[in-house]
Structure 1
């Protein structure tokens, strides 16, 4: 008779669709701020090469917009043939360090800074953005179809560039996620109202990706479990959507997240809320918006280890075939082991790897290692010019505010 299932250790190899990762630790997507000309730079390559050398199983490149108006801001990478040579250099560098490379693809929607991109921000309906002092435009059915198809095109570009996986962004009230949210989506056509209607944008994007790349590369998604705002998308609906995605076999893994970039950004980034630093580093229009509305938009949520575990377990209860990645407050081996013991297949880290890109290797060498990240979140505003931990010694002299402010 077979004995009880033994949970894998986080340092054992794991399959993800058609690929095998050397371990179960993924560098989660974080804006890098290293593509000022909309294309890969040596600095972006070095950023991911350092994390790959530091021991992760896979690093995620963000943010790879599927269309020019889908960038969060001007000067951000968007997926097109001209991007392939640089992306190929990046994936080659990551592979040389023994890690896999994943491209996070998506459309920013209402999160896009139209003053910076020079193109209208698109969403479910017309909506004022206090950070840019502009209105978003309601996406037409033609816009929605074009953006879904663009996800498939972007996935093919990622495949041609040597990526092992693509992560479709369905969180944080970006384009697809804004349609999911009843707090934002007030449409009365076939893309509003019921969850089935509101989920069409997300599901069509996933279908377009799977149709174009099949099983040749891994397909994952970053899926919001809730917006963190009254009347928004909530866990009960996320469970239904996750079940639909799982049943249709649209992705190989789901990374579970929370929060709304335009409405409640700190709901994901638990810890300190660095309002002053955010205002200091933002472009002029957004700086004015933060100063006027920051105290209302940027709330404080205390940090605790594994802060998304219980919520993610609700999603896990309805998913049968798709692997799950736990994100949020994973900074040491104890947290990683807990995730494995609770049945998660992968863990993802972001801020801790900004603080220490070699953290995974250090944990592998010494199980008692704990991250030096203090969850001050002062890395957040740096994505406007070069995402970094402000406490790393090499940041001295590179920041427009004191590192010990």
Structure 2
């Protein structure tokens, strides 16, 4: 009887297939809201942001966040899939491709995380919910709303192809709309979208299937799925693993990126590290500013940081899924951690804060695999979105002049 040969871990810096797309390496710039779009349109600053990461060596950079409906924006500045947005999006994808990287668009609907005051439209959720940050209530989405939003995701997928994107990432995390339906803490519906896990997962699965039906295999489709909302009574590992298995059976995705935390109820659960209460209070308007100062420590909790901090939970997904490629997120800061992810069966890694600190980090790792990130996980970059996301230790990088 012959022994099975040990599996060889892939080289994270070598080219790899993601669905129909070949990336120059297995490192993805994770979606982080850039705060650089204006009036739902692309700006030169947004293009420069992603060009920097492409020049820095990532296999693919992700544009965040591209809303599928006007009420689905967390801020009225955010990109929305309209004909007016297409020229700017084409310019962005062409600029990234010119640097040798692929580019994905994160598509989704913010649901109860949306800002109704900025959008001048009611935010939607599975049921009525009070959002402390916007001091407003969500409106319970009707069946017609949900059908419209599913179709809007499919439309976004088609527009992404037209704009030249290589992939779309469907947002199923952080208690945005689809994620809020998954959460028993937030979803109190009594119809076919509430109650059982199968019902609560209906919207996520419908969205993924609609996007696949719309784009076929012309671009890659990934999804960002919460493993754990980080709140009592929320969506947790046991249910999330089952949803991941259903998504795998549906065949609607080319890869799954595993995330955690609730933008509604516990945003720091994803990030780990310091909770920048003073900085958040400084950019908020009253009465939210006072609320952050008085009780912010109960909402913006600090969690200890360690490299690969989502790996322990993500291992359970790798063991439960048969063939679905997985993208490991959270504390990916050096080649050693990347190699560990590859050795444990993950096909890609996604990085965010480390690349905000050093956009050229991947090039530096390719030159010297002992290089480690300079990010100190202070999380003050989270508050920089109001003036353009950047590492506060290095400051914003000026846009190159054209011509």
Kept in 2, the 8 Å contact 1:131–1:290? The answer is no
TM-score, with length taken from structure 1: 0.96
Shift of the 139–36 alpha-carbon distance from structure 1 to 2, 3 Å rule, reads same
Matches within 5 A, 1:58-73: 58-73=60-75
Shift of the 284–62 alpha-carbon distance from structure 1 to 2, 3 Å rule, reads farther
Shift of the 277–150 alpha-carbon distance from structure 1 to 2, 3 Å rule, reads same
Structure 2 partner of 1:102: 104
> What's the secondary structure of 2:289's corresponding residue?
helix
CA distance in 1, matches of 2:122, 2:291: 18
Structure 1 partner of 2:57: 55
> What's the secondary structure of 2:190's corresponding residue?
coil
Shift of the 385–52 alpha-carbon distance from structure 1 to 2, 3 Å rule, reads same
CA distance in 1, matches of 2:386, 2:204: 27
Shift of the 285–28 alpha-carbon distance from structure 1 to 2, 3 Å rule, reads farther
Kept in 1, the 8 Å contact 2:388–2:396? The answer is no
Structure 2 partner of 1:210: 212
Shift of the 145–233 alpha-carbon distance from structure 1 to 2, 3 Å rule, reads same
Structure 2 partner of 1:237: 239
Structure 2 partner of 1:261: 263
Kept in 1, the 8 Å contact 2:185–2:235? The answer is yes
> What's the secondary structure of 1:317's corresponding residue?
helix
The counterpart of 1:160, out of the listed 155, 159, 162, is 162
CA distance in 1, matches of 2:289, 2:78: 19
Matches within 5 A, 1:215-294: 215-284=217-286, 286-294=288-296
- Over the aligned positions, Cα root-mean-square deviation in angstroms equals 1.3
Shift of the 165–204 alpha-carbon distance from structure 1 to 2, 3 Å rule, reads same
Structure 2 partner of 1:131: 133
Superposed displacement of residue 115, structure 1: 1.1
Superposed displacement of residue 291, structure 1: 3.4
The counterpart of 1:42, out of the listed 41, 44, 51, is 44
Kept in 2, the 8 Å contact 1:91–1:163? The answer is yes
Superposed displacement of residue 321, structure 1: 2.2
CA distance in 2, matches of 1:61, 1:89: 13
Structure 2 partner of 1:328: 330
Superposed displacement of residue 80, structure 1: 1.3
Give the gaps of 5 or more residues in structure 1: 397-405
Kept in 1, the 8 Å contact 2:390–2:396? The answer is no
CA distance in 2, matches of 1:342, 1:285: 47
Kept in 2, the 8 Å contact 1:195–1:237? The answer is yes
Aligned length: 396
Kept in 2, the 8 Å contact 1:389–1:395? The answer is no
CA distance in 2, matches of 1:283, 1:26: 34
Structure 2 partner of 1:400: none
The counterpart of 1:198, out of the listed 180, 197, 200, is 200
The counterpart of 2:93, out of the listed 91, 106, 115, is 91
Superposed displacement of residue 5, structure 1: 1.6
Give the gaps of 5 or more residues in structure 2: 399-403
Structure 2 partner of 1:187: 189
Structure 2 partner of 1:311: 313
The counterpart of 1:376, out of the listed 372, 375, 378, is 378
Shift of the 394–61 alpha-carbon distance from structure 1 to 2, 3 Å rule, reads closer
